[in-house]
Structure 1
Amino acid sequence: MKSNVCYAAARRAGWLLPVFLFCQLAVTAQEKRLSDYKVSLQVQKKTVKEALASLQASTGLVFTYYDEDLRTSAPVSLSMQNASLDEVLQRLLAGNHLSAQLSGNKVYLRPYRREQALKSGVIRGVVCDKSNRQVLPYATIRIKGTSAGATADKDGIYLIPDVKPGRLQLSVGYLGFATLEKEVQLESGQTLDANFELESLTKALHGVTITGIRRGEVKALNSMRNADNIKYVLSQEQMEKFPDNTVSESLQRVPGVAVGYSYGVARDVIIRGLDPTRNAVQMNGNRIPATETQSRTTDLNGVLSNTVESIEIIKTLTPDRDADATGGVINIISKSAQEEKPTLTGKALVGYNGLTNKPNYDLSASYGRKKNKFGYLVSASYFVSTRGQDRVDISWADYELEGASYRKPESITYEAFHIDRKNLGLTLDLNYDAGRHTTLYLRTNYNKYYEFQYSGSIGHSMEEYDAQHHVADMSIYREGRWRDYHRDIFNINLGGKSLIRNWQVDYDVNLNKGLYDQPKYWNAGFSLNGQAAALDLSTPDLPVINYDNDAARDFSNYTTRNYINRHERVDDKDGQATFNALRKINLGSNKSLDIKFGGRYRYKTNERFRNYYNHVLKAGEADFRLSDYNSAYQRKDFLNGFMHLQGFPETEIMEQYFRENGDKFEQDPTYTRQNTDPDSYEGHEDLAAAYLMGTLRLNKLDVVAGVRFERTSFSYKGNEVLLDETGKYISTTKIDHANSFHGFYPSLNIKYKVSSRTNLRAAVTRSLSRPNYYDLVPWKEIERRRERINQGNPALVEERATNYDLMFEHYFTSIGLLSGGVFYKDVRNVLFDYSYEQQGGEFDGYRINTVSNGAKGRIYGIELAWQQQFTFLPGALNGLGIYANYSYIQSRLTVPGIISTRDIAMPSMRPHVGNVSLTYEKYGFSARISSYFFASFLSEVGDEASLDMHEKGRMQLDFSASQQITGRLKAVLNLSNLTRAKRGDYFGSKEYPLNTYVDGLWGSAGLSFRL
């Protein structure tokens, strides 16, 4: 019956083999082992038969053996309390050459041959803090005098297989804790549990305890120090010490990482100068689906930082990781049950946004326990914020005036945003020790990110200047927009780890879904033409417009006959199966070799649809007038008191009018088809990967080398839209295209341990970046009137990069890190927007706009990091500390252009980026003032240098503090953007500003607890 149920479940899920294996493991997990029976035995000079009879009476088991095997058995004396039956039998049968095997309720005693007498065993256990029993992840465990050892996982659990029996000396090391040694006796074929409780170096740190951020730093630093590759780790405790709510915000604190902003909050993550399309975002080692409309990127504003256990930023790849991460990998580690006692943690904060004068709320709770063989954790987080943004948008053009050419504003727009955001994060983690060195887990994470926006804008289009500072002909546009966004992430993992004949095997089945949905987009624009105004450009990024008459201020003069609404949705789904196998081989004399191989298969679907509608009043219907639809929304202190911004249409009322009076409107088919069909598509991708790698450990030198093979095949269906010589819609034709690409990606990572706290690292790796989904779609938009074709390119191949890294890192005993490194990336087949003139055929002479491979890029830089607690200082000063990092990055991208080939910097690359935080922690008090800064950079590439867009450099100052009220309760204060720093970009040179953004100051305060 069990087999039928398992088969049916597998068939329906489409994952027959992995689910079948899991079911088999679950069934066999119910079988008991000798070690599962706890017994007590007191015998004094009794025969083995008599002792076995006593055990049979107390356990209910039947012991089966041949009398002749026990005839020569000498009397035994034994006293054991609450010991495992396995241990009791080993002692009882010692010297009798008998082995015990459990089957059902019978224990068979059989003689074994002399050469089989000594079987290798297994040592396993948990490493924790002696003071509070909290686990210590990534501790190093070594068997002294041999090369055997292990590194504990994120739950503090370690396993050393294939250990020769005998008396062994174990040594455990952990940064910030005293090294502990323990002598153990491993019997033949035994699985020995050896747990360790380490003492923190409290006295050595001059009275500063390892709590709060320091415990978080210890976890992160140990993970980094013991890693085989170059990575940086942020623990949850570290993230809590910054005023950051989302994973994107937390990542801005990492060396070599920069962020782009969305309404004042970090969103896009740039690693080593490479934008999000060239990086990978994973959860527990599995790629997270996209939550954007065209690309493979994930909006990490949708993942709250208090929902995760830690974040790894992996900068050099190993063959057991996906190769599609030229910049790096952001690996989010979800929470899991770690402690034996029930643990409840959480927080409740209330905040305030200074621009909108609205409150924010931040609530979270997590409960978990690991008892005997079963562990569970449930977690929920809810964050509600009301944000705002004030923006000035300027475009520039050349005008003939007084016989000369002058660059003047072509348009000026003032816009105010009101934004409501809601984040919900849910986590469920279950794990089970199934026995026979097998652990199973089920992990589920759901992150819901909802955003509602209302924006009002006043735009000015300058048709004609009659003087240097006067516009003779100007059109004014007053627009209002309601729009919302759903960006949701769901994933579920079912997997486990097993030890099979000295092979450590792990397996995982993963289902993911990413959603981008914009069901609400209501837009209306009212216009007034033929106006005149004086223009004051004394402050170029804040131009002042003074209307010549009051007509521009009379809302009844603004009219429209159009109303726009639309719906857009993208579903990104995938299913994935992963398998890895590791064998550790002891070469003797502190030498060992780890052999590892595995593979991954992923099937992905990506579908996007758009429905755009322009509803036009029928002939004879009266125009809409702004005075009838004027919104109550206004910004009295727009741009910090620059002006009082008001007079926008209330599109909710217009949407209601449209729904009630649809017969008064007619559709614009050209607008609908041109804005819907080219952007709607469906497709699927297959990824198959396999790898082989080895890790050679020679005393102080670790060498990790191997190769990964990846093959990507895809098939997409798009649309070709044809517009005639007048710009009107003619037809839509379906197009489909399939293609594939593949490659080998070798890597080499070297670590030389100068000492237990100092490493030298070097790496040479190969990586790839896949084209965005939309770039691979065979879509076309043919505009005969403009003699122009916009299209996708399904013939694209992946970008490929060769990456070189060198790094020095030293870890302080007083908890800290000093590191410096250089990197160089040679990227080929770089994707870029390409325009060219069609030669021959039906569209001879047309301008083709598409995406192409062919550009070449080089990125190189320096990364420096210093974080240290100054525990060597006297008295109260030893609570001081610093957290600082700086990256200098340069790049050169050679791009073929329609005018000429250009050498430019990689777009989004910040040449200078860094953090400086001054910290203090002592007597239960913790505080830090933090700055994040970056220099001006190229954000968008034009056809020539004068048309390039640059974003201005910026520094943001934040403050956070906490005070321990009791051992379990803490008060928290967070403040962001203390100086109300603006953001902005410019066109060609800083003389021509494009956008200026003001986001204001925001903060929160409340309580956090750990029970």
Structure 2
Amino acid sequence: MLTRSTPVRILLLTSASLLCFSPGFAQEGQVPEQPPVQDEPAGESEDQRTMETVQVRYRFIPDEKRSTSEVSSLLDAGDFDLQGDSDAAAALRRVAGVATADDKFVYVRGLNERYSSATLNGSPLPSPAPLRRVAPLDLFPTSALDGILVQKTYSPNLPGEFGGGLVDIRTKGIPDDRFLEVSVSVGGDTETSLQSGLLYDGSDTDIFGYDDGARELPNFDISNENYEFGRALTDNSSLLVMQSGDVGLNWSGGLTGGNSYDITPDIELGVLGSIGYSNDWSTRQGIRGQAVRPSANSPEIEAEEQRERYSTQNTVGTNALAVIGLNLYDNHELKFTALGTRSSEKEARTVIGETEEDAGVFRDDSLEWFERQLWTTQIAGEHNFPELMDLKVNWRGSYSEALRDAPFQLSNRYREANDGSFVLSSSPAANRIQYSRVDDDTTDFGIDFELPLAFSGDYFSEINLKGGYAYVENDRYANVRIFDVTGVGGLANTDGIRLDYIYSALFNGGPGVIQETGGIQFPEAYIATLEVDAAYFQVDTQITPFMRAALGGRFESALQAVDTVTIDGPSENNFVEACIERQADQSCDNKEDFLPAATLTFTPFQDFQLRFGYSETLTRPQFRELAPTQFVNTETDVSFVGNPFLQNAEIKNYDLRAEYYFDRGQFLTVGAFYKDMTNPIEEVLVNIGNVTNTSFLNVPSAKLYGAEIEYEQIVPVYNWTDWGFFSDRDLTVKANYTWSDSEIDANGTTFVNGGTPTAPVISEVNAAGRVSDGRRLQGQSEHLVNLQIGLSDSNSGSELNLLFNYASERIRSGESLSDGLPAIVEEPPITFDLVYNRPFEIAGTSFEFSFNAENLFGDGYEAYQQGGGVTVPVDTYDLGPSISFGLKKEF
């Protein structure tokens, strides 16, 4: 199989092959077999019998991290087991320079998910996340993955949207032998499991992660059939009534199997299939609020709408993977991969607080259901042509679809009466039903060529010519329909009365009216597209025996556009299109970019190498950042408003890393990086009416710099101490630390929407009036720390690992200078995890037992605003310790 690391591997293999001149050549870690002792030939002198010694400068260690030209980090299936992480997002937080957000997205080298790309087996992915174009990585269970590559320096064969790095998720491939693996696990956490929580019944198929149609929008003209719509609601009372009850345990199961078949001596067929299911619960209890200035000139801030939040969420995950592969005549490989993964979240939430609008205490009750789904199909080929100067050709084609469907979100506000009871509020938008959906699809095709050339001599002995073409099209349609239930004023005391009874009274001769909102503040939908044609070339050459260089560039031609859609009534076909031309110069023409990249690898002595890298990349605005509509982030209950006049961010990347390898998978690396950014995109706070929202703008420029250190080694404790305990046990230490800093330069202008969401007007303003000059970039943590200490027993096969993860505070949303409000800062939880795996036998049958204890000290999450020595909590909740027990059987 051909990879980008092939040239360097050829060098290592060539060097190692020199050992073949000596009889008894052994693989690394093996004792060479000694030749039989023979009688000395007559007349042969001692000097004549002296064997010639060949000194080898390199040792073959097949490690992708080491052999690639670029700076990268790699997790494999063994790491997933040792770390106990169930999905890709959780696993990636162990990688140097990588942090996670919302347990779904990754921040690489201090740049948030906007600046990173995610691919599956090299193909770009659509996203079911309404506020992001990057796919949430918690959708990918580690049970279906073979590994994850994080590439931190750019190479021209990758998409040009490359800021912090690229994450390539690699699914399992075809097996060498027949196998069948069954796994189950059960667990819970101290905040949720077997305790009282908020629940609601929903539909009959919720346990499978699918709605049976009970939540669908009624299919009739709501403006004329208000009574029928109301009756459809009350007929499904299970969607309206919040309850309290005991929460069960978390549990999951999986089945994976495969086989390989020899069709003919030259044709091998391999198949693999995997299915998985998980059912998890989480309860969050904490505070939500926002800061205000008591007066325009006040240096301090104070809390407004401090609210107590309590919620229970049930997440059901399902996934399936199918792989079919053909190996043909040793030089050709075809592989078909299909992956479907789905996560459905069912939440009941209540929030209690005070507002001036309701003149007292209020209570918001919400019942929600979110379906996130992604499926992808890919066919790929790898071909070697020895008769054509060893030409290598790799190609791929894929089509993927992502869906985020929230078919029924119900929210109702109660206000406290004089007698202390709660009655249904009559305030505008107090009682609301919302339907929203995001459909996102991606089509991808790519082909890569590599021609290796070999020459005699010490200089430019190898030259690998690489080139290729790629086409990607990403299309999205997103819509939201909001219905307000009005006419409830003057109702009698509704405290303790079920909501389905109240709504039934409203729509059976009562005063209730359902009215759809929309227009200026809420254009109900947007359509977006991004098309990219790209071609690249690269020359990878061995300049001297100790120096290798890769030089190339990528040309991209891209068209990106967003149209808002205002639905006039219930018919989705009756809309008015308003083409919003993205570029600040009001041009919808394709934007063309040339992105150069160069790396230099110097190997002054055995097992040590020094890398230098330079590249130019870009980041395009995400669809949601461009659409000038309002959309609520369900994680934070904060509304987002897009800016259609955002421009591409341009990045110049500088990298330096020194690497020393003790053995395969054992190394010490020290690196530094610097990024010079033009027009980086930042999230900032804005006010619409009396509500604080977030929006986006280009900052004139910024710089980001930092350093990383990684250390992984099997520590030879027994050799050092001669302690008998370690005679059959290995101690493994893995540690990494990343320090980074950044600085925004607000000297210059930026473009914002000076009109309305449906009639945007470009407006050029001073950036210094929107962002604070000199502050850090959004999402950048100064410190990232990971430590893993493992103890493995060769006799029992057990593995015990203690893991520590820390990410320092970072900006979640930027400041609002027009209102004098500071940025929202978040502190992710500090986690200590314990993972134990051990095989055992019962009645001659082998099993593997696992025990995971996560967040042992129960650290929670906190987001806040600070100003004038005052700290205002914005979003806080507890995260208790959790444990799980697993059992695996392979047949």
TM-score range, shorter chain: 0.7 to 0.9
Q: Aligned runs of 1:861-876 on 2, under 5 Å?
A: 861-873=706-718, 874=722, 875-876=724-725
| Cross-structure match for 2:361 | 476
Q: Deviations over 1:130-165 (max 9, x none)?
A: xxxxxx99994669768999xxxxxxxxxxxxxxxx
User: Could you tell me whether the CA contact under 8 Å between 2:13 and 2:60 is conserved in 1?
Assistant: no
Structure 1 segments unaligned to the other structure (5+ residues): 1-123, 127-135, 150-166, 182-217, 464-472, 532-550, 630-649, 723-730, 782-789, 838-846
Q: Is the 8 A contact 2:301 2:866 kept in 1?
A: no
Q: Which residue matches 2:254?
A: 364
Preserved CA contact (<8 Å) 1:483 1:518: yes
Indicate the structure (1 or 2) with the bigger Cα radius of gyration.
1
State the partner residue of 1:689: 534
Q: Is 1:286 aligned to residue 123 of structure 2?
A: yes
SS at match of 2:710: strand
2:786 to 905, 915, 923: 915
Match of 1:519, SS state, is: strand
2:163 maps to 1:326: yes
Cα pair distance change 1:141/1:792, threshold 3 Å:
closer
Superposed displacement of residue 512, structure 1: 0.8
Q: Distance in 1 between matches of 2:320 and 2:118?
A: 19
User: What corresponds to 1:972 in structure 2?
Assistant: 850
SS at match of 2:257: strand
AA at the equivalent of 2:365: G
5+ residue gaps in structure 2? Answer: 35-58, 194-247, 263-267, 569-573, 582-587, 632-639, 747-766
1:578-977 counterparts in 2 under 5 A?
A: 578-589=446-457, 591-617=461-487, 622=491, 625-629=494-498, 661=508, 664-669=511-516, 671-674=517-520, 676-677=522-523, 679-697=524-542, 698-719=544-565, 733-737=576-580, 739=588, 740-777=590-627, 792-813=642-663, 815-832=665-682, 851-873=696-718, 874=722, 875-877=724-726, 878-895=729-746, 896-898=767-769, 902-922=773-793, 923=795, 924-944=797-817, 947-952=822-827, 954-966=829-841, 968-977=846-855
SS in 2 for 1:241: helix
Q: Is structure 2 residue 342 aligned with structure 1 residue 448?
A: yes
Pair 1:354-2:204 in alignment: no
Q: Distance in 2 between matches of 1:655 and 1:176?
A: 75
Q: Show CA shifts across 1:727-774 (max 9, x none).
A: xxxx98531145231200110122223445322111111111111113
CA distance in 2, matches of 1:705, 1:584: 15
Matched to 1:258, the amino acid is A
Quick check: 1:866–1:882 contact (8 Å CA) kept in 2? yes
**TM superposition shift of 1:876:** 2.4
Residues 1:991 and 2:870 are matched in the alignment: yes
1:505: how far off? 0.7
- The 5-angstrom pairing of residues 358-437 of structure 1 reads 358-372=248-262, 373-399=268-294, 408-435=302-329, 437=331
Q: 1:835 to 1:969 in 2, by over 3 A?
A: closer
Task: Measure, in 2, the Cα distance between the counterparts of 1:457 and 1:302.
Answer: 28
Instruction: Note closer, same or farther for the CA distance 1:622–1:742 as it changes in structure 2 (3 Å cut).
Output: same
Single out whichever of 974-983 and 889-898 deviates more from structure 2: 889-898
State the AA in 2 paired with 1:909: Q
The aligned residue for residue 240 of structure 1 is 81
Alpha-carbon RMSD across the aligned residues, in angstroms, is 3.8
CA distance in 2 between partners of 1:662 and 1:325 (Å): 60
Q: 1:881 deviation in Å?
A: 2.1
Q: CA deviation at 1:626?
A: 3.0
CA contact under 8 A between 2:125 and 2:442: conserved in structure 1?
no
Matches of 1:514 and 1:973 in 2, distance apart? 33
SS of the residue aligned with 2:577?
A: strand
Check 1:921–1:221 CA distance in 2 against 1; reply closer, same or farther (3 A cut): farther
Structure 2 equivalent of residue 508 of structure 1: 396
Deviations 1:7-52 (A, max 9, x none): xxxxxxxxxxxxxxxxxxxxxxxxxxxxxxxxxxxxxxxxxxxxxx
Q: Post-superposition shift, 1:315? A: 0.3
Q: Which of 430, 441, 449 pairs up with 1:573?
A: 441
Q: What CA distance in whole angstroms lies between the structure 1 residues aligned with 2:666 and 2:822?
A: 45
- Amino acid in the other structure paired with 2:403: L
Mapping 1:518-533, distance limit 5 Å: 518-528=406-416
- 2 CA distance for matches of 1:387 and 1:592? 56
Deviations 1:853-872 (A, max 9, x none): 35211110011111222134
Q: TM-score, normalised by structure 2?
A: 0.76
- Alignment size in residue pairs: 739
- Aligned partner letter, 2:135: T
Deviation at 1:835, TM superposition (A): 9.9
CA distance in 1, matches of 2:471, 2:509: 50
User: Which residue of 1 is the match for residue 218 of structure 2?
Assistant: none
* Partner residue in 2 for 1:225: 66
The whole-number CA distance in structure 2 between the counterparts of 1:687 and 1:169 is 53
CA distance in 2, matches of 1:290, 1:580: 26
Q: What's the CA shift string for 1:215-238, capped at 9, x where partnerless?
A: xxx999812111121100011111
Question: In 2 relative to 1, CA 395–294 (structure 1 residues): closer, same or farther, beyond 3 Å?
Answer: closer
Residue 1005 of structure 1 corresponds to: 885
CA distance in 2, matches of 1:657, 1:755: 83
Amino acid corresponding to residue 227 of structure 1 in structure 2: T
Over 3 Å counting, the alpha-carbon distance change for 1:921 and 1:351 in structure 2 is same
Which of 483, 487, 491 is the matching residue for 2:372? 487
Q: Is the 8 Å Cα contact of residues 416 and 423 (structure 2) preserved in structure 1? A: no
Q: What is the CA-CA distance between 1:254 and the residue it aligns to?
A: 0.6
| Contact kept? 1:865, 1:886, Cα under 8 Å | yes
Identity of aligned residues (%): 17
2:145 is the alignment partner of 1:308: yes
C-alpha contact (below 8 Å) 2:466/2:537 kept by paired residues: yes
Amino acid at match of 2:802: I
Q: Partners in 2 of 1:220 and 1:891 — Cα distance?
A: 37
Match of 1:164 in 2: none
Corresponding position of 2:101:
260
Alignment pair present for 1:517 and 2:405: yes
Residues 397, 769 of structure 1: CA spacing in aligned structure 2 closer, same or farther, 3 A cutoff?
A: closer
Q: Deviations over 1:236-285 (max 9, x none)?
A: 11112223221111111110011123xxxx22211000000110011001
CA deviation profile, 1:78-134 (whole Å, cap 9, x unmatched):
xxxxxxxxxxxxxxxxxxxxxxxxxxxxxxxxxxxxxxxxxxxxxx999xxxxxxxx
Q: Highest relative contact order (Cα 8 Å, sep 6+), 1 or 2?
A: 2
- TM-score, normalization: structure 1? 0.67
Residues 522 and 655, structure 1, Cα contact 8 Å, conserved in 2: no
Paired residue secondary structure (1:237): helix
The Cα shift of 1:399 comes to 4.9
Q: Distance in 2 between matches of 1:900 and 1:1003?
A: 43
1:496 is the counterpart of 2:346 = no
CA distance in structure 2 between the aligned counterparts of 1:807 and 1:143, rounded to whole angstroms = 20
Deviation at 1:927, TM superposition (A): 0.9
Tell me the amino acid that sits aligned with residue 876 of structure 1. Answer: F
Secondary structure class of the residue paired with 2:625: helix
The 1:803/1:557 distance shift into structure 2, 3 A limit, reads closer
How far did residue 601 of structure 1 move? 0.9
CA distance in 1, matches of 2:552, 2:488: 68
Compute the displacement of 1:1003 (Å): 1.8
Query: How far apart, CA to CA, are the structure 2 residues paired with 1:320 and 1:342?
Result: 35
Aligned AA (2:91)? S
Question: How many angstroms apart in 1 are the aligned matches of 2:130 and 2:620?
Answer: 16
Hey, what's the Cα distance between the residues in 1 that align with 2:283 and 2:411?
Answer: 19
